Amino acid sequence: MRVIDLSQPIFSGMPVYPGDPEVRIDTAHTYDTHGWLLRSLSLGSHTGTHLDAPSHMHADGATISQVLLERCMGDAVATEPGAEYPFGAGLLFTDRITESEFSRIAEARPPFVGGDMDEALERRLLAEGIFTYTGLVNLNELPRHQTFTFIGLPLPIADGDGSPVRAVAIIEDTN
């Protein structure tokens, strides 16, 4: 078994979407003063590798606290626009995808779609209840068109519109 980390590191001053809150990580307690280390985190709900809940783009959409965790993990494939999409598996795109792929993706009924996508596509996917993961990294390390297990669990943010995640792909040995 091989585990591939698909998550960006989170650090102070990291790049964020224009207009999103800056990331700040400050030291609140130190070993010398308190006997332990504690950091204070300030970041947006769509920082780094993250899950977008339907409420991110739709006022009546499900929030993070309404997301079933079973929908945030399961069979997935790494693919590219224009390929054949397996029915019911999560889709992680290695190349940028646009709204022109919406109908084909929706027909495959994935529980989630990940990768670099335009806003129009993301909006339509979320309207259909298909969760989106953005900010994924290391997608080039995934085997193409081969099923693997994806896990990208959100933090339990009450009424959240999104959440940073630790996303991983688990590739089973074929031997």
Burial of 174 (0-12, 13-18, 19+ CB in 10 A): exposed
The residue ranges of every structural domain in the chain are 2-11+44-171
- Output DSSP code: residue 119: H
Topology of domain 2-11+44-171 in CATH is Glucose Oxidase; domain 1 (3.50.30)
- Alpha carbon distance 111, 118 (integer Å): 18
In the numeric block, the tokens 């029915």 are attached to: 87
pLDDT digit string (tens) for the chain, length 175 residues: 999 999 999 999 999 999 999 999 999 999 999 999 999 999 999 999 999 999 999 999 999 999 899 999 999 999 999 999 999 999 999 999 999 999 999 999 999 999 999 999 999 999 999 999 999 999 999 999 999 999 999 999 999 999 999 999 999 987 6
Say how many CA atoms lie within 13 Å of 57 toward its Cβ. 18
